[in-house]
Amino acid sequence: MDKIRIVGGNTLKGSIPISGAKNAALPLMIASLLTSETLTLENVPHLADVELLMRILGNHGVDISVNGRRERQTDGYARTIHFNCPTITDTTASYELVRKMRASFWVIGPVLAREGVARVSLPGGCAIGTRPVDLFIDGLKALGAQIEIEQGYVEAKAPSGGLIGAHYTFPKVSVGATHTLMMAASLANGTTVMENAAREPEVVDLANCLKAMGAKIEGAGTGTITIEGVTSLSGARHTVLPDRIETGTYAMAVAMAGGDVTLENTDTALLSSALEALRAAGTEITSTASGIHIVGHGDDIRPVDIRTEPYPGFPTDLQAQFMGLMTRARGTSHIVETIFENRFMHVQELARFGADISLSGQTATVTGVNELHGAPVMATDLRASVSLVIAGLAAKGETTVGRVYHLDRGFERLEEKLTRCGAEIERISDG
């Protein structure tokens, strides 16, 4: 099993290209199930989750080519991938597939809307929380679907004339459920109004793609999204937006290790709350023609309190990285996690570097220390794993991060991008 080895202490200087957003690419890929024509996506990152979803979509009958070649024949940056699904050949998404990636459950919306039936495995548990699918089920029921849960599968059936537009209010904000219902409602009969919808940039990106395919959607990016259903959708060409979580992660790495780095092909507007917290911590951040310029002062980090919230609040997907930064702050900070009930598993691993962190419920109190020291650590989930990389860049001595398959799910060529800025980091294999 691969590990990542880091020798800390180097400042970061240069530029890092930001990849397309994983959290946008996945629902965009699933949207290919809504049309019999070709959906072409540009700026798709090369990630484990993207590769897995391509296999899942293939099982449903989606024909996939990458940059004009058959899938998996190229692994470069900013890939262009073509998805074509003339016929959905299988309306079942098996447990063996869905259990590997929760986002694959979202196929239930397009498959049900297009075929009238869908059978999708419940996704099961998750390392950072239960993430129940009740909002998905309730929303689809509001659109007229009959749903039963049998032997671990959600079995959904649309009315004989297809799904029916409805007014639905999410009892809590859910990005995945917003994606799923927006796709399903695009082919429903009549108008759907979704209240308390997620406002994330990735939701807006999906809405823009669906509109390019012929959907009639208004209000994406606000709490109220209105969809007027159409009888069919066409193909389209769409560019995946930049990854705001990758942007914030590298900005925090520069803030902690120190240095001067330009993050290319990204935009400050995608993560204003996280950048505000970084500025409060003493990081210099300016917009440029090509992206964002970051100047970090690793030995002069100010403590900042944060609270994770749905967009436009501080992203839960940057909480672990920011905690890593705060371990070197000159004072005490408090980090409150409100989205997931079990997203502090990285605390014990950060403590192995010498970090001073105490937990009380969903609040972490972080008292900055003068030095971190390299250590062998273990990744527990995608975002937690990269917080350990950030800590390793600033720690004295050598760090090894195990279970890096978590990293491969969401960070494209992480070692290469950091190496080009002067970090001493490499992937090593036990075998």
SS3 state of residue 336: strand
Residue for token pair 């597939």? 97
For position 431, what pLDDT does the model report? 59
CA distance 164 to 154: 19
Confidence of residue 173 (pLDDT cuts 50, 70, 90): very high
Q: Decide if 297 contacts 283 (C-beta within 8 A).
A: yes
For position 394, what pLDDT does the model report? 97
Average pLDDT over residues 142-169: 96
Higher pLDDT, 408 or 275: 275
Asked whether residue 23 is marked as a ligand-binding residue, the answer is yes
CA distance 383 to 107: 24
Asked whether residue 175 is marked as a ligand-binding residue, the answer is yes
Query: What CATH number was assigned to the domain covering residues 22-239?
Result: 3.65.10.10
Please identify, in words, the CATH class of the domain defined by 2-18+242-429. Answer: alpha beta
Q: What angle do CA 24, 419, 277 make, to 5 degrees?
A: 55
**Helix intervals (H) in 226-353:** 244-257, 272-280, 319-326, 346-351
Asked whether residue 134 is marked as a ligand-binding residue, the answer is yes
Q: Decide if 244 contacts 201 (C-beta within 8 A).
A: yes
For position 99, what pLDDT does the model report? 86
Residue 74 has pLDDT above 60, yes or no: no
Residue 76 has pLDDT above 60, yes or no: no
Confidence of residue 8 (pLDDT cuts 50, 70, 90): very high
Average pLDDT over residues 366-376: 97
Average pLDDT over residues 81-97: 95
Average pLDDT over residues 271-279: 98
Model confidence over 191-202: pLDDT tens digits? 999 999 999 999
For position 75, what pLDDT does the model report? 43
Helix (H) / strand (E) element for 142: namely helix 134-142
Kindly list the catalytic residues: 126
Residue 393 has pLDDT above 60, yes or no: yes
Tell me the average pLDDT of the chain: 93
Higher pLDDT, 381 or 413: 413
How many CA atoms, within 13 angstroms, populate the side-chain half-sphere of residue 152?
10
Model confidence over 99-141: pLDDT tens digits? 888 889 999 999 999 999 999 998 854 443 445 789 999 999 9
Higher pLDDT, 124 or 77: 77
Which range is most confident: 250-254, 343-347, 375-379, 381-385? Answer: 250-254
Residue 216 neighbours by CB distance under 10 Å: 13
Asked whether residue 339 is marked as a ligand-binding residue, the answer is yes
Residue 169 has pLDDT above 70, yes or no: yes
Q: What is the pTM of this model?
A: 0.95
Domain span(s) for CATH 3.65.10.10 in the chain: 2-18+242-429, 22-239
Residue 187 has pLDDT above 90, yes or no: yes
Asked whether residue 131 is marked as a ligand-binding residue, the answer is yes
